[in-house]
Amino acid sequence: MGNQWYPQNKKELIKVLDKFLKVNKEIKKVHGLIVPHAGYEFSGEIAGKAFGLLKDKKIEKAVVLGPSHYVGFEGVRACEKLETPLGKVKIIENDFEKVNYEHSIENQIPFLQKLNPDIEVLPLVVGELSNENAKKIAEKILEIDAVYIFSTDLSHFLAYEKAVKIDKKTIEIIENLDVNNFEKIDACGKFSLLILMHLCNLKNWKPKLIEYENSGDIIDDKNSVVGYVSFWF
């Protein structure tokens, strides 16, 4: 379990989630989110503003896609099991190869459990993908009536001003669903975002920026920062 990422005490975790989940009733229809996956002290508030858009909505299933940090592979695999201090999660039946653990997925699960303790999840860990395969995955997951959660952090370990400039470019590419400039994206969830672009293009959905910050905005170190962003679509 990802004890370095969020509180492992159930009461403490619920308290943190309640603090981060900000309700926004103005946005009526949300098909999915893009959220960061760093430790909650760094990016939990940015993720919470996105998950808060789902707070009053009936969410029964979620497809969560995040990059692989521990194993290199091509294609997409599914987490075999998911458990947090809030309990075990029912995994949607699937025919993907399995992996044991991925924090880019697991860090989203407490938010989803807080929204619906009985939620069913398809947790997909994304390796390297061709453009064609990314489109096929988008088509496959659209067969599931679910909310789609895409997990990514932006640029890593750059000086503050350089990071802001590069992240701004990535944000523009995401907003424009610019598949042709996909290679210019600087993000660990780059291939997850390629699936997102195809998904949104297939359904005519548009990502809308919620918030962008980097670790330099959160702690007093601007020499080497990591970018965090959230969108809804």
- Straight-line distance from the first to the last Cα atom of the chain, in angstroms, rounded to the nearest whole number: 30
Contacts for 92 with CB less than 8 Å, ≥ 6 apart: 61, 63, 120, 121, 122, 144, 146
In a domain, 148, yes or no: yes
Instruction: Report percent pLDDT > 90 for the chain.
Output: 89
3 domain residue, yes or no: no
Task: Note the pLDDT of residue 1.
Answer: 40
**Domains in the chain, number:** 1
Instruction: Indicate whether 8 belongs to any domain.
Output: no
CATH number of the domain enclosing 152: 3.40.830.10
**pLDDT lower than 70: segments of the chain:** 1-3
Q: Are 190 and 67 in contact (CB under 8 A)?
A: yes
Does any domain span residue 9?
A: no
- In this prediction the pTM is 0.95
Residue 6 lies in a domain: no
Q: What pLDDT sits at residue 3? A: 56
Residue 7 lies in a domain: no
What residues have CB less than 8 Å from 114, skipping those under 6 apart? 14, 17, 18, 21, 51, 86
| Full residue range of the structural domain in which residue 137 is found | 15-232
Residue with tokens 């660990």, as numbered in its chain: 188
Residue 193 maps to a domain:
yes
Q: Are 229 and 36 in contact (CB under 8 A)?
A: yes
Task: Write out the two tokens for 215.
Answer: 């670790």
